[in-house]
Amino acid sequence: MNADKVPDIIISRLPIYLRALQRMSEKGMKTTSSQELGEHVGISAAQIRKDISQFGEFGKQGTGYSIQFLIDKLREILKVNRMWDVVVVGVGAMGHALARYPGFLNRGFRVAMIFDVDPSKVGQKVGDFTIEDASQLVDCVRSAKIKVAMVTVPASAAQEVTDKLVQAGVKAILNYAPTSVNVPSHVHVQYIDPSTHLQRMTFYLD
C-alpha cells in the first residue's frame, strides 16, 4: 500500500473507525457490520466499506468484520501498533491538561517530555513530569528521537516553537496555538482551536 495514493479524507476517517471499534471491544463485542459501525460514527455503511477496502479485504460477506482483527489492521495502517513518544511545549492550563490526559492510553501515544520557556515553571512537576527548559528543546527532542509534538504556546510564539521542533526532527505537530504555522512539506500539522471549530458550526445557526 502506498500512503501517497490514499486520499487524506479517507485517512482522516480511519481513526474515527478505530476509536469506535475499540469502544465496541471494551463493551465485549466480537463482530460488527459496516451498518452498525456506521450508526456509531455517523458515516454511511457504503462509505465505510469503501474506505476500508482501500487497504484489503477485511470483512466477510454475511458475517461482517471481526472487531479485534479490524482494530489490529487499523492500528497497523495508522502506525499506532507501536507507542509514539510525544513532547508537549507550553505548560499553561491546556499543556497541564494534556500532560495528564488519560485519553492517550491505548491509542498509540504517551507524553514523554514537557517544556516551557518560563523560568518560574522550569523544574516544577506536572503529574510524573518535570517541566524542562525550552532552551534545551532542540537538543533534548533530537536526542530522544521524538517525532511527535503538541504545541500549546500563545499564538505569538507558535512559529518559533514549530521551527525548533522541525529542527529537532519532529515530523508531526498538533498545534493548539490559535494561529497557522508554516512547516516544510515533510512535516505534518494538525490544528486544534476550539474557536475555529465553533465558528464552523455557528455559520449554520440562526
| Using rule CB under 8 A, residue 72 touches a second copy | no
Whether the CA torsion 170, 171, 177, 179 is positive or negative: it is positive
What is the full DSSP assignment across 166-181?
HHTT--EEEE-SSS--
# residues near a second copy by CB under 8 A: 61
Chain positions 133 to 152 lying near a second copy, rule: CB under 8 A, are: 147-148, 150
CA 72 vs CA 10, 77, 162: distances in Å: 18, 9, 32
Measured from the CB atom, is 81 or 136 closer to a second copy?
Answer: 81
Phi-psi region of 169 (alpha: psi -120 to 50; beta: other; left: phi over 0): left
**Cell numbers of 161, please?**
516553537
Smallest separation (angstroms) from a second copy to the CB of 22: 9
Label the pairing between strands 125-126 and 188-191.
unpaired
**Closest distance between a second copy and the C-beta of residue 58, in Å?**
17
Site membership for a second copy, residue 193 (CB under 8 A): yes
**For helices 67-77 and 8-26, what crossing angle results, to 10°?**
140
Q: Which CB sits closer to a second copy, 28 or 204?
A: 204
User: Is residue 199 near a second copy by the rule CB under 8 A?
Assistant: yes
| Site stretch for a second copy (CB under 8 A), options 59-67, 115-123, 135-143, 173-181 | 173-181
**Residue 97 C-beta: closest distance to a second copy, Å:** 4
Min dist CB 127 to a second copy, Å, is 10
2 is an interface residue for a second copy by CB under 8 A = no
Residues 76 and 140: their CA atoms lie apart, in Å, by 28
Neighbours of 204 (CB within 10 A): 6
Does 130 participate in binding a second copy (rule CB under 8 A)?
A: no
Instruction: Compute the C-alpha angle 120/112/177, nearest 5°.
Output: 60
- Which residues bind to a second copy, rule: CB under 8 A? 3, 8, 11-12, 14-16, 18-20, 23, 39-42, 77-80, 84, 86, 92-94, 96-98, 100-101, 103-104, 107-109, 147-148, 150, 155, 171-172, 174, 178-180, 182, 188, 190, 192-205
